[in-house]
Chain A
Amino acid sequence: MSTGLDTGLRAQAAAIAAGDVDPAALLEATLARIEQRNPALNAVIATFPERSREMLAAAPEGPLHGVPVVIKDEWPLPWRAQRFGAAELMTPTAPGESGPYRALRDAGAVIVGVGNMHELGAGSTGATSVYGPARNPWNTECCPGGSSSGPAASVAGRLVAGAVGADGLGSVRFPAAYCGLTGLKPTFGRSAMDGHHMAPVTTLIVSGPLCADAGDCRLLGSVLYGEELAAGDASGLRIGVVRDTVSEDVTAEVAEACDAAVEALRAETGGEVREVELPDLEAATLAAILIINSESMGGTTPARLNRLDPELSPIARGSLKYRMLLPATATTQANRVRTLMRRRLSALFAEVDAIAWPTIPAPAPPLEAPMVELPSGTATADQANVRGAALANLTGIPSISMPVGLSSEGLPIALQLQAAWGADELLLDAAEALERANGRRWVESLPPLAEASPTEV
């Protein structure tokens, strides 16, 4: 009997349900796989085999019965408080149940590990973490993307078939893009968030699935949403493209792959592509940054900042202190920009069903120096990445990132689609249409690290 280890999430769930895979064998094979591959990836920063076996023993007959998953270090578990990738958080945390934990448990899933993440969720690369950086399975010298670095690296490295991340400014979509996965940023409020230390105050962060393909994201997403994300039809998809920095200040390879993907999606759906205007994207990006900075600092006092843990990175220390200096009027203006962009998007989604642009302007940079070369010059990856992601968080709309190619250096390239509030299912339909259009070439591509090892442990 196969352990089902190297199959996808829905294949694992179906094989277990059919009795073709023994979930206990799958769990042990997954734990062995983590032990085997994780030293090269640092994707999983905590395992708890006895807890996992207890979860399996108590697992109900849900849609993920017996399926191993990883959850980001952003939510508590009953036996472990989240650390948010940092030496300390501005908000106290404690072990406990969270929304994503309950959703996974009630679906019968087995949590096998906690995924690494960028320190304090404040980076798109995953290059900084109290645990040391996670590494990209496509090239372990490169960034896996952040802040959900460990969840992405653990799925791309085929440690597990699905992982739960969180997205406050692109933190599901960046690592999905860097690691060649599909990642869904849900409409704000649709996916389980409670138990997150910022859940009471955030207006940007959502939980979201990272998987090899859209079908697996639909399955894991349905669990996180607490409702079925029913498959529909993306026929006649009206795709809007924005000729702005987000689509033009990108590498030639990214532009070429994304343009080809948009055309393939149009042809597959029998839809249309039209250029649309969406002014003030730079302002929208800064507005989202200001709002999340403000929300993340709630209750932090100057005295608190004078006794920061010395293990916090210099960037985190400086960033936390700098946030205290930002004028309140800027956050007020940021909220006005939020209204402005929400109204513009509302009008735009009467004309098109989805807006497309590259998820990332350049493939994963080196961990040692996370900089990218763009037509406009050299930029930090964080600076360049965020401008394509923040709009969805600022306004609440859903967004999906899907792999659409490999660079000449063998690193994934990704396209992002954004749709109207509540149209999460349409994004999955569109992603599946694109997979059909390109023969599932990119969602089935394996990184060298996953190809090099035996398929069964």
Chain B
Amino acid sequence: MENATPADDFIPAGLASLGIEADEIDLAVMAAFHQLLWPRLLELLALDTEGLEIERCPDLSQAPR
């Protein structure tokens, strides 16, 4: 997706902001995850759920109330 944040920027910046160290292998693995997940994550965030009545503390053993 055009608006996906490039892993080259997003991952090192994110790690640096959290103080997490990563070697080249870590970065390669993270880039692969990012490539796979990020476009789908953007699609998820774009999903229109406005008007959806949210379940408060859903009981997952039961159908929604």
A, B co-complexed: yes
Chain A residues packing against B (C-beta within 8 Å): 187-190, 203, 280, 282-283, 286-287, 289-290, 302-303, 305-306, 314-315, 317-319, 321-322, 324-327, 329-330, 333-340, 342-343, 345-346, 349, 383, 395-396, 420-422
Q: Taking CB as reference atom, which chain B residue is nearest A341?
A: B64
State how many angstroms separate the Cβ of A303 from the closest Cβ of chain B: 7
Residues of chain A contacted by B40 (CB below 8 angstroms): 282, 286
The 8 closest A-B pairs by CB, nearest first: A318-B29, A396-B60, A189-B61, A188-B60, A325-B14, A336-B49, A322-B30, A302-B18
Instruction: Establish whether residues B30 and A318, one from each chain, have CB atoms under 8 Å apart when the complex forms.
Output: yes
Q: Determine which residue in A325, A326, A383, A396 has the highest number of CB atoms from chain B within 10 A of its CB, and name it.
A: A325
Instruction: Establish whether residues B61 and A306, one from each chain, have CB atoms under 8 Å apart when the complex forms.
Output: no
Instruction: Establish whether residues B20 and A319, one from each chain, have CB atoms under 8 Å apart when the complex forms.
Output: no
Which B residues, 39 to 65, have Cβ-Cβ distances below 8 Å to chain A?
40-41, 43-45, 47, 49, 52-55, 58-64
Instruction: Establish whether residues B29 and A314, one from each chain, have CB atoms under 8 Å apart when the complex forms.
Output: yes
Residues of chain B contacted by A187 (CB below 8 angstroms): 61
Residues of chain A contacted by B63 (CB below 8 angstroms): 342, 345-346, 349, 420-421
Report whether over half of chain A's contact residues are helix, strand or loop; otherwise say mixed: helix
- Tell me if B36 is interfacial: C-beta within 8 Å of chain A: yes
Determine the interface band of chain B, counting residues with CB < 8 A from chain A: 35 or more
Q: Determine which residue in A305, A322, A346 has the highest number of CB atoms from chain B within 10 A of its CB, and name it.
A: A322
Residues of chain B contacted by A314 (CB below 8 angstroms): 25-26, 29
State how many angstroms separate the Cβ of A123 from the closest Cβ of chain B: 13
Report whether over half of chain B's contact residues are helix, strand or loop; otherwise say mixed: helix
Q: Taking CB as reference atom, which chain B residue is nearest A343?
A: B64
Residues of chain B contacted by A286 (CB below 8 angstroms): 37, 40-41, 44
Instruction: Establish whether residues B21 and A336, one from each chain, have CB atoms under 8 Å apart when the complex forms.
Output: no
Known pairs A190-B61, A342-B63; A334 contacts B44 (CB<8 A):
yes
Residues of chain B contacted by A189 (CB below 8 angstroms): 59-61
State how many angstroms separate the Cβ of A198 from the closest Cβ of chain B: 15
Chain B residues packing against A (C-beta within 8 Å): 10-11, 14-15, 18-22, 25-30, 32-34, 36-37, 40-41, 43-45, 47, 49, 52-55, 58-64
A-B pairs with beta carbons under 8 Å apart, 12 shown: A187-B61, A280-B47, A290-B44, A302-B19, A317-B25, A317-B29, A319-B33, A325-B15, A325-B30, A333-B45, A333-B47, A383-B36
Residues of chain A contacted by B64 (CB below 8 angstroms): 339, 342-343, 346
Instruction: Establish whether residues B18 and A330, one from each chain, have CB atoms under 8 Å apart when the complex forms.
Output: no
Known pairs A188-B61, A286-B37, A318-B28; A305 contacts B49 (CB<8 A):
no
A295 to B22, CA, bound (A): 22
Instruction: Establish whether residues A283 and B47, one from each chain, have CB atoms under 8 Å apart when the complex forms.
Output: yes
Q: Determine which residue in A321, A326, A334 has the highest number of CB atoms from chain B within 10 A of its CB, and name it.
A: A321
State how many angstroms separate the Cβ of B4 from the closest Cβ of chain A: 13
Instruction: Establish whether residues B52 and A336, one from each chain, have CB atoms under 8 Å apart when the complex forms.
Output: yes
| Of B21, B30, B44, the contact of A337 (CB 8 Å cutoff) | B44
Instruction: Establish whether residues A325 and B41, one from each chain, have CB atoms under 8 Å apart when the complex forms.
Output: no
Q: Taking CB as reference atom, which chain B residue is nearest A335?
A: B54
Q: Determine which residue in B15, B19, B47, B59 has the highest number of CB atoms from chain A within 10 A of its CB, and name it.
A: B47
